[in-house]
Amino acid sequence: MTPHPRLALALAAGPLLLLAACGGGADGAPADVAGGSGHVKITITDDGCSAEPATVPAGAATFDVVNEGATAVTEAELVNSGGRIVGERENLTPGLTGTFSLQLEAGDYTVQCPNAATESSAFTVSGAAPASTEDPLFAAATRGYQDYVKAQVADLVTATGAFAAAVEAGDVERAKALYGPARTPYERVEPVAESFGDLDPRIDARVADVADPATWTGFHRLEQALWVTGSTEGMAPVAQQLVADVAELNTLVQTTTYQPADLANGASALLDEVASSKVTGEEEAYSHVDLLDFGANVEGSREAFDLLTPALQVTDPDLVTTISARFDDVTTALAPFRQGEGYVLYTQLTQDQVRDLASAVDALAEPLSQVSGKVVGAANA
């Protein structure tokens, strides 16, 4: 996840008001739009796709997308002059129809159907031009994420301070108890930390990740001392370094801003983390609190997704429905393993339970991987 200096999003369309009864599935009836200016038909063919009528007045409109037999083309998108997809229907195999509905602002648009001989055709919305050039839904999402990251890192600073103090005091049992609570806020926003060069390795490297074990620092170095050696001897400098590194992260996130794609990619990256190291029990190899990280990764992923939901709801309500249901499935799958403030140890899971958790994560990660493309738009398609 790469943070960006704040850039005005290059969006020409103003607010796209969320409409009730959006969508209608691939087989559903066209949705009704309250006070709409009516229906626009987009017919998909292998040669191209065009809207009928090609000009409509500003206001509510419902698009009926029909694939009458194109095999190479299965989707149609409405793209604004800023290159962002404002509405689309996908996976329309021959014979299927889908709809999407939205509030159209005046301006020049294109109807795009990837893979057709002619991929783009013009579509015009007449009326007064919008005043705003920033999509408030995305702006709210990125601001919300910035606040979330700051709050998590603030918690991280507090919890890491308490954990490090216990290590420096030589209180092994207390340090063990405080380890998990310090890990949680970090794991929720891990992709942000990863965007700052060597900060994440200093804080979160496992022994297998470092070129020279003598230079190994961070949480897992302390984890090994507490759970394997059972002693904090020689660990005070490592604890102090960890406190300093977390403080540095806190300074950095105060001024970091995010693009919508950062939220989407971060949400996906967190699930890849779960799939590659948490569900395998590799992350917390000594303490076995992997499910705590697992839960935190999923929480961070969901937060980013929830913030994007109002904007996504406009362009692809079906995707929102699918992803929300699968987030729920993951939460449900994890629930039986909750214990007190945390979770049972990874070593208490059976192979079947690990497999169930892994497949719930995979099931979620697949549709979530499509979000980034939805929020970036068609500019680089």
Partner 1 sequence: MSAPRPSRRGVLTGAAVAGAAGVGAGVAALAARPGHAAAAPGTVPFHGARQAGITTAQQDSLVFAALDVTTSRAGELADVLQRWSADAATMAAGTPVGGSGGLGGAADEPPQDTGEAHELPAANLTVTLGYGPSLFDERFGLADRRPAALEELPPLPGEQLDPTKVGGDLCLQACADDPQVAFHAVRNLVRTGRGVVRVRWMQLGFGRTSTTSAAQSTPRNLMGFKDGTANLKAEDTTDLDRHVWVGGQGAPAVDQEWMRGGTYLVARRIRMLVEAWDRASLGEQERVIGRAKASGAPLSGRAEFDALDLAKTGADGTPAIDVAAHVRLAAPETNGGVKLLRRGYSYTDGLDVATGQLDAGLFFIVFGNDPHRQFVPLQRKLGAQDALTEYLKHTGSGVFACPPGIGTGGAWGEGLFT
Residues engaged in binding partner 1 (CB under 8 A): 71-74, 91, 93-95, 114-115, 261, 322, 326, 329, 359, 362-364, 366-367, 369-370, 372-373, 376, 378, 380-381
Residue closer to partner 1 by CB (options 35, 95) is: 95
- Of the candidates 219, 203, 220, 201, which has an alpha carbon nearest to the alpha carbon of residue 211? 201
Residue closer to partner 1 by CB (options 110, 287) is: 110
Residue closer to partner 1 by CB (options 19, 376) is: 376
Half-sphere exposure of 314 (CA within 13 A, CB side): 26
Give the sheet arrangement for strand 107-112, strand by strand: 55-57, 120-126, 107-112, 76-79, 85-89
Chain-centre distance for alpha carbon 276:
17
Question: Scanning the structure block, which residue is given the tokens 């998990």?
Answer: 180
DSSP 71: S
Cβ at position 365, least distance to partner 1 in Å: 8
In sequence order, what are the residues at sequence separation of 6 or more whose Cβ sits closer than 8 angstroms to the Cβ of residue 85? 77, 78, 79, 315, 374, 377, 378
In sequence order, what are the residues at sequence separation of 6 or more whose Cβ sits closer than 8 angstroms to the Cβ of residue 223? 179, 284, 286, 287
Residue closer to partner 1 by CB (options 221, 326) is: 326
Cβ at position 298, least distance to partner 1 in Å: 15
Cβ at position 202, least distance to partner 1 in Å: 30
Tokens (6 digits) for 347: 């070593």
Cβ at position 269, least distance to partner 1 in Å: 13
Note the helical H segments in 84-218: 136-168, 172-188, 190-194, 199-204
Cβ at position 133, least distance to partner 1 in Å: 21
Residue closer to partner 1 by CB (options 9, 247) is: 9
Cβ at position 265, least distance to partner 1 in Å: 9
Cβ at position 235, least distance to partner 1 in Å: 39
How far apart, in whole angstroms, are the C-alpha atoms of residue 111 and residue 186?
43
Cβ at position 99, least distance to partner 1 in Å: 17
Residue closer to partner 1 by CB (options 46, 168) is: 46
User: Residue 109 pairs with which residues in a beta bridge?
Assistant: 123
Residue closer to partner 1 by CB (options 74, 287) is: 74
Cβ at position 270, least distance to partner 1 in Å: 16
How far apart, in whole angstroms, are the C-alpha atoms of residue 353 and residue 344?
12
Q: Are 77 and 116 in contact (CB under 8 A)?
A: no
Residue closer to partner 1 by CB (options 74, 160) is: 74
Residue closer to partner 1 by CB (options 280, 370) is: 370
How far apart, in whole angstroms, are the C-alpha atoms of residue 190 and residue 1?
10
Backbone phi and psi for residue 63, each to the nearest 5 degrees, phi listed first: -105, 125
Give the sheet arrangement for strand 97-104, strand by strand: 49-52, 39-44, 59-67, 97-104
